[in-house]
Amino acid sequence: MKNASPGPVSQEDRAALEGLLGPAEELAADLLLWTSTRAPDGDGARAGLPYDPDRHEAVYYHHDVASGLRALVSLHSTVLGPGLGGARWRPYEHIGEALIDVLRLSAAMTAKSAVAGVDYGGGKAAIVGDPAAKTPELLAAYGRFVERLGGRYITTTDVGTTLDDLRAIARETDHLAGVARGGQHDVDTSEPTARTVINGMHAACEFAFGNSLLVGRRVVVVGTGKVGGKVARRAAAAGAHVAVTDLYEDVAADLAREIGGEQIALDDAYLQPCDVLSPNALGGVLNPQSITQLRCRVVCGAANNQLLHDPADAELLAARGILYAPDYVVSSGGVIAAGIDHAGGGADRIEELVKRAGPTTLKLLHLAEREGITTAEAALRSVDARLANARAA
């Protein structure tokens, strides 16, 4: 174990977290742990099933006084292997907001790894702060935090973190995926993620329209960052009429010019008539209010936790005749690349699993139709089966 930075945790954060999760176990003055805890916003709908998104094996909180780092790591499940997931660096308004985010995201990573066929569980980190204000000291402190978890959590990039950040973190821990080690090359997880989204989009179009072609179809891409920008480029290259939008309007404008697409206002994105709506930013965008306003036939994007209530909101989509391609199925490219990289596998294995995303999506869509269930429920059954088999082995 590399040196940790001692110091008391933020008492304000501790009180807020204990109010949501119950009393913490104090592993050190700067490190708290909650085990076998339930998400405070969970509905308990899947309690007792192999995949219960509300039940988490462990939640860690670390406050490094010297650097100012305030971070959470959630391990939803390690049934398939160590928890693998990115470090999300955001200016959360309070620690409770970061907690809800990290719990939902780590549960989604369990599902994503299960359907992707990699031997990793669900983990995620949430760091409170402005990603533009990261310092070497903050990155080093986060790396030491990951190291202290002893390999139970494998970190990589996410919203607000980059490969350069990961290289700095790698000076403090080996428990990470995505940066070069030995003779390997860096792994940009955004590229395989965009590819699995496009593969899933072709599959969804085949199911919804009778052919997989994107030629002539209107695709609205919401979020043009590391993944969304690549999704937009690939959709345009496949012949789609692409409209893009982003919180950063200049980024969206540049991308629209590059691909010969259209820039639309972010506030209007979910009101646009289109064949495919592709959410590629933050989650919770498909909810009872927004679903009533959608004017698309297919939803297929990389954003995690698109359904505010999974799988209940999928029923609302189905009732409106909107085909939902489950986000953790079509966005599995990142966990595939990171997991295979961490396990020491090569590009051929990554390519094999990335190509599998399209057929897997189509299989789940047909399962939903055959069983009279939503596509979200079909995906959950697949996750249940993989976890149940792993526990029985």
Which residues are annotated as catalytic? 124
Q: Contact at 8 Å (CB) between 2 and 141?
A: no
Quick one: CA torsion of 168, 173, 179, 181, rounded to 10 degrees? 120
